[in-house]
Amino acid sequence: MDSNVGNDIFDRILSAAGPLVALKATDTALLVEQFRLVARRTGQAVYLWRHAEGLISLRDAQMRVPGCLRLGDALRYVLQSLHFGVYLLDMPAGPPSATDGALLRQLSRAQTGHVRRVVLLGASPSLLATFENDVVQVDADWQARSAAPRLRDGRWIV
What CATH number corresponds to the domain at position 25?
3.40.50
Instruction: Please give the model's pTM, rounded to 2 decimal places.
Output: 0.84
Q: Number of structural domains, the chain?
A: 1
What pLDDT does residue 26 have? 83
Instruction: For residue 151, tell me if it sits in a domain.
Output: no
Instruction: For residue 57, tell me if it sits in a domain.
Output: yes
**Identity of the amino acid at 22:** A
What pLDDT does residue 2 have? 55
What pLDDT does residue 144 have? 47
Instruction: For residue 101, tell me if it sits in a domain.
Output: yes
Instruction: For residue 32, tell me if it sits in a domain.
Output: yes
Instruction: For residue 152, tell me if it sits in a domain.
Output: no
What pLDDT does residue 130 have? 81
Q: Among candidates 21, 139, 18, 147, which has minimal Cα distance to 91?
A: 21
What pLDDT does residue 149 have? 66
What pLDDT does residue 158 have? 59
Q: Residues 63, 46, 51, 69: is their CA dihedral positive or negative?
A: positive
Query: Distance between CA atoms of 116 and 129, rounded to whole angstroms?
Result: 22
Query: Where in the sequence is the domain holding 32, given as residue range(s)?
Result: 3-140
Instruction: For residue 145, tell me if it sits in a domain.
Output: no
Q: Residues 71, 78, 68, 89: is their CA dihedral positive or negative?
A: positive
Instruction: For residue 150, tell me if it sits in a domain.
Output: no
pLDDT per residue rounded down to tens, the chain (158 residues) = 555 777 888 888 998 888 999 998 888 888 899 999 999 998 889 999 999 899 999 998 778 999 999 999 999 999 998 889 999 999 888 788 899 989 998 988 887 777 889 999 988 887 888 877 788 888 877 554 445 666 777 777 65
